[in-house]
């Protein structure tokens, strides 16, 4: 599993494509501090890419709601599309605060982790 370098976005912003790398066939991981999100781009004419972000806990405490059950996050990125996904670290981050993602296929799939800078 490859460790993604997080691209920090300041007030001037950045081109998303500059922070994308080829998706690793064994999956990727990135540090998440609740200001970080995953970008998945499926650039080829191959079947959609199904992304799975496994849960790391069976329940999570949600303010105002109490303890709720947690599921894996799964979504499909059709070819030609780019998805930006915020992942809650409380329910999907490991003990080091890293989030992991796996892919059903990686042909022409690029990924990146982006973080909003603090002002």
Nearest to 110, CA basis, from 38, 47, 26, 42: 42
Q: What is the pLDDT along the chain (119 residues), one digit of tens a residue?
A: 999 999 988 777 666 667 899 999 999 999 998 889 999 999 977 789 999 999 999 988 877 888 889 999 999 999 999 999 999 888 999 999 999 999 999 999 999 999 988 76
- Which residues share a beta bridge with 39? 84, 112
> Are 61 and 88 within 8 A, CB to CB?
no
| CATH code of residue 17 | 2.60.290
Boundaries of domain holding 64? 2-116
Q: How many domains does the chain have?
A: 1
Give the predicted TM-score (pTM) of the model: 0.89
Nearest to 81, CA basis, from 43, 52, 119: 43
């Amino acid at each position: 599993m490859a460790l993604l370098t997080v691209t920090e976005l300041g007030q001037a912003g950045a081109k998303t494509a500059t922070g994308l790398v080829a998706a690793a066939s064994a999956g990727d991981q990135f540090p998440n501090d609740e200001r970080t999100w995953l970008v998945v781009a499926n650039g080829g004419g191959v079947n959609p890419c199904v992304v799975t972000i496994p849960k790391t806990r069976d329940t999570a405490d949600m303010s105002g709601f109490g303890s709720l059950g947690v599921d894996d996050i799964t979504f499909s990125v059709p070819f030609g599309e780019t998805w930006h996904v915020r992942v809650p670290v409380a329910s999907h981050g490991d003990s080091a605060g890293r989030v992991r993602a796996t892919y059903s296929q990686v042909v022409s799939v690029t990924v990146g982790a982006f973080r909003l800078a603090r002002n």
